[in-house]
Amino acid sequence: MKAFIIFYIVISFFSIGESGFAQNSNKESGGKLVTINGHHIWYNMTGKGEPFLIIPGGPGGSHFYFQPYLDRLADFVQLIYFDAFGRGLSSEAQNLSEYSFQNDVDEIEAFRNALNLEPLNIYGHSYGGMVAQAYALKYPGSVKRLILANTIHSAEMWQKGNNDNWNYQLENQLPELWHRLDSLRQEGMLSTDSVYQKIQGEMPLSLSFYYDPSNVPYPTYSNKSFSLEVYKQIAGPDADIVLGGDLSSVDFRGHLKKIKVPTLIIAGRFDRVAIPKYSIQFKSFMPQAKFIMFEKSGHYPFIEEPELHAKILVNFLNSK
């Protein structure tokens, strides 16, 4: 969520690269490619134990922003980093209509079957948590444990707790910046336009993703960290103002009680994307889950409170 959610760690955010980039970078990363539905999907498995799949946010995000923060989990599980179709080091679509929320969900099951993996422990962050919720509901026998981190339960939460809250802060805390963005919209520009995104990216991280901006990683990651094309296709062309695309009709709220596997829900007290007002609603929609609020984190507890985050995850994964 938010097309520039990984902007701060991308050197050349809007340079998507050549179609052959995935295979070349795959060699450098140490990962592998598996063919799913005719697409080359990148993944990397490390450690021993039960499979633990990491699903990135976005839509459009890749595995890059999780490293090295989640690497320590490889001491306890078989950690699996994964780039969905069109993202990161995986191959890209010839036609943008190939990208969809449902395809992201079904691709997880195809990936699990292709690698002959037992039921998965799943960590879905942000948009990845939405994919994880849908996956657990559609493929209940394929999930062993579920971790939903800083995520969204409905299109309403995305619109009110993400877009509306985000733009309220822009308009009221940064009126000069908001005026520049509003001028672009008056000219007909949509919020996922690269020019709009660049200006919106000037919003201080203290008002967006982080409790403590000093925790922001040094910007050294790949220009494959984020796909704006995937984001626009799945969330809509004006996604940072009005949620559209496949996500405009997503609503898990009435279904979450059906999820029977052990579930941990993580939220950040200073998350301005999946804001606490709506995050705590998971407690009523999914009372069978364990809920933890990270008091010194924004949208990335695994970056801001890494030791506590790891301890909580390991305890949960070892629980009966």
DSSP 76-131: TSEEEEE--TTSTTS---SSGGG--HHHHHHHHHHHHHHTTPPSEEEEEETHHHHH
Average pLDDT for residues 288-307, to the nearest whole number? Answer: 98
Q: What is the pLDDT of residue 6?
A: 44
Q: What is the pLDDT of residue 224?
A: 76
Confidence at 210, pLDDT banded by 50, 70, 90: very high
Which domains does the chain carry? 7-318 (3.40.50.1820)
Q: What is the pLDDT of residue 29?
A: 56
Least confident of 27-41, 61-75, 197-211: 27-41
Confidence at 60, pLDDT banded by 50, 70, 90: very high
Q: What are phi and psi of 134, to 5 degrees?
A: -65, -40
Q: What is the pLDDT of residue 252?
A: 98
Contact 74, 46 (CB under 8 A): yes
d(CA 131, CA 91): 19
**Model confidence at 8: pLDDT above 60:** no
Q: What is the pLDDT of residue 222?
A: 57
Instruction: Give 24 or 134, the one with higher predicted confidence.
Output: 134
Q: What is the pLDDT of residue 21?
A: 26
**Model confidence at 83: pLDDT above 80:** yes
d(CA 18, CA 41): 16
